A and B are shown apart, each in its own frame.
Chain A
Amino acid sequence: MQVAYSSFLSATKPLLIKMLDVLSQDYPYVSILGTDVAGNTYAVRSQSVQINDAHWVERGWVVRVHNGEHYAEYSFNNLSEHSFLSTIQLIRYDLNHTLELLKNSNIPIHPYSPFEESSMRSRWEGEIAIDPFSIDSSEKIERLNTIKQKAHELSQSLISFGAIFQEIKTSKCYLSNQKDLEQAWIHTEGYLIPIVKRNGVSRSIFKGFSGRKGYEIMDEMEKALGSTLDEAELLLDAEPLKQGEYDIICSPDVTGLIAHEAFGHGVEMDMFVKNRAKAQDYMDKTIASPLVEMHDGARAAEHVSSYWFDDEGIPGQDTVIIQKGKLTGGITDLLSSIRLKISPTGNGKRQSYAHKAYARMTNTFFSPGHHSLEEMISSIDYGILLESSQSGMEDPKNWGIQCVVTYGKEISKGQLTGKIFSPVIMTGYVPDLLQSISMVSRDFELYGTGACGKGYKELVKVSTGGPYIKAKAKLV
């Protein structure tokens, strides 16, 4: 079924067009992004149940103006026929006053030329199999409850368990003198979080499910319950890993973590503007094994960060970041593209209407290759198969890596031994890791749970993933 565009954004469109007209009398360029995001989180834990609005729920607008010299923005979430004129006055006063205050204090402001937009009108509504909003909340709670009860039946070591389902419907509009764009889509997320304990040792694992999917994601959660509990119990026997350099195989989610943290943040081109990214010195140069191809783009894949246009009204695209080991491109927001004199790539994303747009990743992944996982394992004399990514941190300036992985499985003489190490931290230098990639599997999976920050804030939805890859890395 097709996802219906927000009736609220449709109803308020005439007021926004009026606002655009009025503000255009003062400013050579005006655009308005409107958002209406609805959603719920259903969480059933061993001892409690919660129903809350989803983290991403928002409804508001951000006006961007160019006053002939500079860009400035005003975020707000209250507007009516009654308050229209006072809102216009506030926008004018606050933006002009802030810019004047800076000028009068002799603080330099970067002059921008206004962005030349081409005319574009369209509405895009995503497809979904089972609309989660059409399912009664009682059924969702009941189904999560069943998963929880089954988990307690299956595992003797289980001390606490959480099953969480989240449904999010996003509608956005972008209006300017040249553009009239509308889009809507639904995505869902699910989480299984067992905590197990034996002989005083506790371990937890987190299994996520996500995608531009509907209520059917519950089926995936149910199917994965047994294997998730097995993984959690395996961790109880885990040992710390002896630090050193290892032959490694990364599972698709760990591959995604590397694509995202180790390299993706480094090709966000607002970092080029700030001279914070080493990647800008390596354009068209070889930085990875010839087996490596990496993409990012809202239209590069169908997942949680797939959209028709970004938060600056630029159509999403499929950007090839690395091709045959060579760095071929970066991803950019609108203002960075103006400064760098390049075309925007549709990667201008905001945490919400109340936040600034930055160059952000969308769906970021390594492309699949030609090997099988079995071939990769059998090629290793001693190494580690890394599974279940936890977290990572970017270092675009110096290309350091920090990826935390929940566990690693020991490989000895071409076979998994059954021994588990946990947790595992991968560190090192990005090009060393990427150039060491010697095998890439045919598999391909994307993951889109959680959120990605820029520095320590500005959370947005992204997906990451790829195939299994074989490489060499420093582990501790």
Chain B
Amino acid sequence: MIEKITKYLQQFKDQLSDWKINISKTEGREIYLIGNTVDMARVKNIENVRLTVYKDFKHQAKTCRGSASTIIHPTMNDSEMEETIQKAIYAAGFVKNEHFPIVNHVVCINYPGGSSTPLQELTEIMPRWIQEILEPSQEMNGVSINSAELFLNLKEETILNSKGLSVNFIQPSISIECITQAQGLQEEIELNDDIRLADLKEGILKSKIMQLLRYTHDRSKAVLLPKVDEVPVILSGDCVGDLLQYYLHRLSARFIHENISDTDIGENIQGDQVEGDLITLYLDPQLPGSYYSRPFDTDGFPLHRFRLIHQGAVERYWGDIQYSHYIHTAPTGQWCNISVESGSSTLQQMKAEPFLEITHFSDFQTDYITGDFGGEIRLGYYFDGSRLQPVYGGSIAGNLKKIHHQMTLSKEKRLLKKYYGPCSIKLKGVNVAGNI
């Protein structure tokens, strides 16, 4: 199919300036469990091709670069493919964007960081993955697996462009949505987790399921969060990475170009009078062991680690080749994994005084424009100075911009999806809505 597409691109070469093709082939196996029984098995074999065309033209004495992207289905016949490409080229002529370059001549076939684990091998060990989901609950009393969905995918990505770019990489991925249950103090309760693995080593999934079951046990002993006044809040779990993404977005070339962020280089992003920990943050696209790590962004730009914030001071922006060009900064590529350096306090020190630690939210939300964050509590731990009690219900709301001068980061670090860094953050001044 690529030959056909490039044939048409060659045919229309006078009407376009550049092009890019993103091809992704996914072979997958899916298992849906209810209790310890398979409800359904699914197989997936799909190929997606996206073509982006770039067209340079003059508008009011300025050189513009228009672009338009379109999906090319493998089942398109010649005339449909030709018409689709022509329409995209025509549309690109109305996109009056400032000119920007595309990635120039990177050739990397079979990226060495990728995996060559064949799908056949992934499929053959599928029963092992199911056992790793089901076995831990046999070792714990009172908690069990309600249901789980297991997705084993082998994805091959190829990116080509008219400047000679040609990269190809294969990544296996395992994702599991797991629901656990237990009898609570008043009724049955459940917790869920969306587990993503890039590391296929035996036992890793089992340990994550075990951890979820332990949390489920705690949730079964939890009471409604009482009314609490001005207690420091400790965030733990996936919400830590979500919250710290606020800083990444503030430094995004797109946010800067679109005036959504006015953060300056050299600025102390937490303000000038910081009483807590100063943040040091890296754009870290290839976090070891992360499901979300990858070697190139969707433009084919090679991804590397960059320090963006050092001890609270902004060192540089980040972004794709287009928006970085617009704000006159070197591109880093567009991928949102981050790592953050350790803070000053151990978890034990953080928990020496009364606190509310929240490990699970219904849906933790952070507004990257305003800094507002919050959510309803599914599982937390309240320490009133003498007793630690698992709690649920109630919610928190706060604004990171107003309180990050008093933020404490833990010394202990953890990998959480797109984030590697302090596993907990302690915040003061968060509005906690408990139950009367």
Tell me the A residues contacting B by CB distance below 8 Å: 8, 12, 40, 45-53, 57, 59-60, 70-80, 90-91, 94-95, 97-99, 101-102, 105, 107-110, 137-138, 141-142, 159-160, 195, 201-204, 240, 243, 273-276, 278, 335, 354, 356, 390-393, 395, 397-398, 400-402, 404, 423, 425, 427, 455-457, 474, 476
Contacts and interface: CB of A to CB of B under 8 A. Distances in A.
Given A391-B363, A397-B189, A456-B177, A98 B29 contact: yes
B43 interface: yes
A74 B187 CA distance: 39
Nearest to B40: A71
Contacts of A40: 91
Contact of B362 (A95, A101, A395): A395
Given A72-B42, A457-B177, A427 B433 contact: yes
Contact of B146 (A90, A108, A276): A276
A425 B395 contact: yes
Given A80-B75, A110-B38, A476-B433, A95 B259 contact: no
Contacts of B39: 110, 335
Contacts of A79: 75
A71 B50 CA distance: 33
Interface stretch (B94-102, B287-295, B332-340): B94-102
B92 interface: yes
A193 to B, nearest CB: 10
Given A79-B75, A400-B376, A51 B369 contact: no
6 contacts: A40-B91, A53-B69, A72-B41, A393-B376, A423-B372, A455-B177
B123 interface: yes
B260 A474 contact: no
Contacts of A77: 46-48, 73-75
B74 A78 contact: yes
Contact of B40 (A46, A91, A97, A335): A335
A402 B75 contact: no
B36 A108 contact: yes
Interface of B: 29-32, 34, 36-48, 50, 66-71, 73-75, 80, 87-88, 90-97, 123-124, 126-127, 130, 146-147, 177, 179, 181, 187-190, 192, 194, 257-260, 326, 362-363, 365, 367, 369-370, 372, 374-376, 378, 393-397, 399, 431, 433
Contacts of A72: 40-43
A74 B194 CA distance: 24
Contacts of A476: 374, 395-397, 431, 433
B133 to A, nearest CB: 11
B391 to A, nearest CB: 13
A136 B47 CA distance: 30
A46 B328 CA distance: 18
A429 B181 CA distance: 19
Nearest to A73: B42
Given A425-B397, A455-B177, 8 more contacts: A47-B257, A51-B88, A75-B46, A77-B75, A79-B75, A98-B43, A204-B369, A393-B362
Contacts of A49: 66, 94-97
Contacts of B146: 274-276
Nearest to A142: B94
Contacts of A204: 367, 369-370
Contacts of B375: 393, 402, 425
A357 B321 CA distance: 38
A73 B367 CA distance: 39
Nearest to A37: B71
A45 to B, nearest CB: 6
Nearest to A243: B433
Contact of B37 (A52, A59, A108, A392): A108
A273 B179 CA distance: 14
A73 B44 CA distance: 8
Given A51-B92, A77-B75, A102-B41, A400 B34 contact: no
B264 to A, nearest CB: 13
Given A102-B41, A354-B46, A391-B365, A195 B260 contact: yes
Contacts of B30: 356
B43 to A, nearest CB: 4
A75 B42 contact: yes
A243 B431 contact: yes
Contacts of A425: 374-376, 395, 397, 433
Contacts of B92: 51
Given A72-B42, A275-B146, A101 B187 contact: no
B126 A101 contact: yes
B189 A141 contact: no
A73 B372 contact: no
Nearest to A356: B42
Contact of B46 (A60, A404, A456): A60
Contacts of A94: 43, 45
B38 to A, nearest CB: 4
A138 B258 contact: no
A474 B46 contact: no
A72 B40 CA distance: 6
B42 A12 contact: no
Contact of A57 (B42, B71, B96, B123): B71
Contact of A53 (B66, B70, B96): B70
Contacts of B189: 397-398
